[in-house]
Structure 1
């Protein structure tokens, strides 16, 4: 798998989880944290 394929898979999984949870799940706070971390890491990689 290429980096792009892995990245696309992560994005798809994030969207599936969000659509299923509808922001009401008990783990939403953790999910939001990990989602922010994912996008921060993406920004760092893009700067390299």
Structure 2
């Protein structure tokens, strides 16, 4: 649902705003991946200690 709204908004925006929104989304994806990777690393360390 959120994706559809962002696509509709993107169609009405200027090319520069479209690009900016795209870059922001990419950064958010990277952060998600990074945080999940950190979490898995922490959990694996805890298991090894036990």
TM range (shorter): 0.5 to 0.7
TM-score normalised by the chain length of structure 1: 0.56
Gaps of 5+ in 2: 39-50
Instruction: Give runs of ≥4 in structure 1 deviating > 3 Å.
Output: none
- TM-score, L = length of structure 2: 0.54
Residue 25 of structure 1: aligned partner: 13
- Aligned residue pairs, count: 34
**Which has the larger share of helix?**
2
Larger radius of gyration: 2
Higher relative contact order (CA 8 A, sep 6+): 1
Contiguous gaps of at least 5 residues in structure 1: 1-11
